[in-house]
Amino acid sequence: MTATASPDLSVILGSLSLHNPLLAASGCFGYGTEYDDVADRDNLGGFITKSISLAPWKGNDPPRLTEVSPGLLNSIGLANMGVEKFANEVAPQIVTGKSKAIVSVACKVMEEYEEVVALLEDVEGIAGYELNISCPNVKEGGMAFCLNPNITEELVARVRKRTNRWITTKLTPNMTSVSQGALASEAGGADAVSLINTLVGMAVDWKSRRPKLATITGGYSGPPIKPVALAKVWEVWNAVKIPIIGIGGITNWKDVVEFMIVGASAVQIGTALYADPNLPGQIAADLREYMRNEGVGSLSELTGSLKTDRGAMVGVPA
Amino acid sequence: MKYLEDAVVVSNREIRPGIWSMWLRSPQICAATLPGQFVHVKVDASLTPLLRRPLSIGRVHGDQLELVWRVVGTGTDMLTDVRPGVTLNLLGPLGQPFTREVNASHRVLVGGGLGLPPLVYLYEWFREHDLPVTLHLGVSGRADIPLAEDDPLLNEIEITAENGEGFRKGLVTEPVLEQLQALETDGSLGSTALYSCGPWGLVNALQRTIPHSQLKLAEVSLEQQMGCGVGVCQGCAVIVEGGDTPYQLVCSDGPVFPLAAVHPPGVA
């Protein structure tokens, strides 16, 4: 094999280097070990764990999930084992290998974010944190942290003081201007931003007149949200200087390339992993093929390479 | 050990109106599975349906396994178009199997409608191990029996049909209760194991009517809409008493749970 036969997929997001741009999205890859029997974790550049809170969370009442084909509506409610058990029992197993372990953190108040990160600082090998400030399925905290840019900035700044590790914030599309949240994250000291989280959605049974989720509304994900996600990434690309991780409906290598063209430096694969936990390996192979065929020397040259005649048409805050 | 296996379809036929039976050659999963487990089926390579479909593993004969389902939507309908020779990607075996109680004096299996297939697997497992076992099936009528008319098992199991139709007329809980009462009379109720799978109506009826706390073991296998099938998405939660939280996951904590501990969705 010559060097050109195996193109280098590596990307750099500030202080975080990934051997490829493919990350598993939070909530879609468990704590990191669940798919070990059937999928090689190292096919991923990294993975974001299920969101970890200070105390264990039980999640929402069932039913929590319904397919709205080809999308998925969920109201899991961040069910998780809590930071203590995660740090002691799970984290040591996921920091091995070349796939970077990034821990998602979701809490009800700012102090808890600081406390969870402080506790995780003792676990060697964690590559960074994704602050989940955009979950639509919890009553306290969640999306509320993202809807107010002042709170976003303060939260990031407070966590920034607790760690030298890489930090990204996960942003919601359920606000007028996602770039406000991105700018606030940047101002607070985030190394990157991740977007988008799920869109608020709803499904109803016409016959029984009942909602299909116990929480009535939930978060919509999967292939149908890709156009929304691309638009949000493009908006944020025109607003901030820190790297962007694109998320939303990715199912193949072309989706990855498109996200990078509109401004992403890396991507997260989410809902599609449920159908095929080996998808990242396939996409990585397809991306190498694409780079060979198109003469792309480095994936980073794609980032923000969208060709437009009229420039950004989206509202970018001055 | 779980596998992602491309299984070759050996046969696929409609055994009752809207009820299908498919046999697949799946050597890795067949070698690893136990009664009560399930496979997560990739119905089609396209994005529709988006998610896999969880189906109980029915009979396992050598390197072949049987899946039985009723057509209820797009995914289960698409499965009826699959022809022999085609491969379907299976993720499995998944979930916790039934407790294979070898020391019980009697084993009473109670299936309701499409809840039968995993119990057929368990029934055949006990039979292969020369352990006494009775399999009860409750249906509305003949059209709901998830066995083909030429299936030898049809004459081996105890069928109760609400419409009669040549079977015992009534509810399946009635012959089950009679059998348990007989076992109580001869002093062996406490060494009897009961296994069940079926709609919530059956689960609730069993919880209400049978003396499950006096049995050696009483288990139920549940179904729920699933995302991942392996405990990642936490979408298939059900209310089960006795765990760390009010909820347990059908895919990875279950699908088999203690009969007395489970609650229907929305009823805490």
Q: Contact B237/A59, CB-based, under 8 Å?
A: yes
Please determine, looking at this structure, whether the domain spanning B98-221 carries the CATH number 3.40.50.80: yes
Chain A residues inside the 8 Å CB shell of B48:
69-70
Give the mean model confidence (pLDDT) for residues A182-208: 97
Residue A243 domain boundaries: 3-61+78-200+221-302
The pLDDT value given to residue B267: 42
CATH number at A99 reads 3.20.20.70
Res. A318 pLDDT band, cuts 50 70 90: very low
Distance between CA atoms of residues A234 and A227, nearest Å: 11
Architecture of B3-94 per CATH?
Answer: Beta Barrel (2.40)
Q: Is A135 annotated in the active site? A: yes
**Mean pLDDT lowest among A200-204, A266-270, A307-311, B63-67:** A307-311
pLDDT band at A186 (very low <50, low <70, confident <90, very high): very high
Domain count, chain A: 1
CATH number of B223-268: 2.10.240.10
Q: Is residue A48 part of a domain?
A: yes
pLDDT value of residue A317: 44
Whether the per-residue pLDDT at A315 is higher than 70: the answer is no
The answer to whether the CB atoms of A274 and B4 lie below 8 A apart is no
pLDDT at A2: 46
**b/e code B123-135 from CB counts within 10 Å (16+ = b):** bbbbeeeebebbb
CA atoms within 13 A on the CB side of A175: 23
- Is A210 part of a structural domain of the chain? no
Kindly tell me if the per-residue pLDDT of A107 is higher than 60: yes
Condensed to tens digits (0 to 9), the pLDDT of residues A86-106 reads 999 999 999 988 999 999 999
B102 has a chain A CB within 8 A of its CB? no
Judging contacts by C-beta atoms under 8 Å, the chain B residues touching residue A64 are 234-237
What pLDDT, on a 0 to 100 scale, did the predictor assign at position A59?
93
Q: Where are the domains of chain B?
A: 3-94, 98-221, 223-268
B224: nearest CA partner in chain A: A63
Min Cα distance A181 → chain B (Å) is 26
pLDDT value of position A310: 66
3-state secondary structure chain A: CCHHHCCCCCEEECCEEECCCEEECCCCCCCCCCCCCCCCHHHCCEEECCCECCCCECCCCCCCEEEECCEEEECCCCCECCHHHHHHHHHHHHCCCCCEEEEEECCCCHHHHHHHHHHHCCCCCCCEEEEECCCCCCCCCCCHHHHCHHHHHHHHHHHHCCCCCEEEEECCCCCCCHHHHHHHHHHHCCCEEEECCCEEEECEECCCCEECCCCCEEEEECHHHHHHHHHHHHHHHCCCCCCEEEECCCCCHHHHHHHHHCCEEEEEECCHHHHCCCHHHHHHHHHHHHHHHHCCCCHHHHCCCCCCCCCCCCCCCC
Distance CA B57, CA B65 (A): 7
What is the separation, in whole angstroms, between the first and last Cα of chain A? Answer: 50
Chain A interface, mutation test: which of B228, B230, B262, most A Cβ atoms within 10 Å? Answer: B228
When pLDDT is averaged across residues A107-136 and rounded to a whole number, the result is 93
Residue A312 has what pLDDT? 53
pLDDT at B248 over 70: yes
Write down the residue that tokens 């296994």 correspond to. Answer: B195
- As for the ipTM of the complex, it is 0.92
Q: What is the mean pLDDT of residues B113-124?
A: 98
pLDDT in tens, B12-70: 999 999 999 999 999 999 999 999 999 999 999 899 999 999 999 999 999 999 999 99
Confidence band for A309, pLDDT divided at 50, 70 and 90: confident
Q: What is the pLDDT of residues B183-225, one digit of tens each?
A: 999 999 999 999 999 999 999 999 999 998 899 999 999 999 9
Query: Over the stretch A1-50, which tens digit does the pLDDT of each residue have?
Result: 444 458 999 999 999 999 999 999 999 999 999 999 999 999 999 999 99
pLDDT of A1: 44
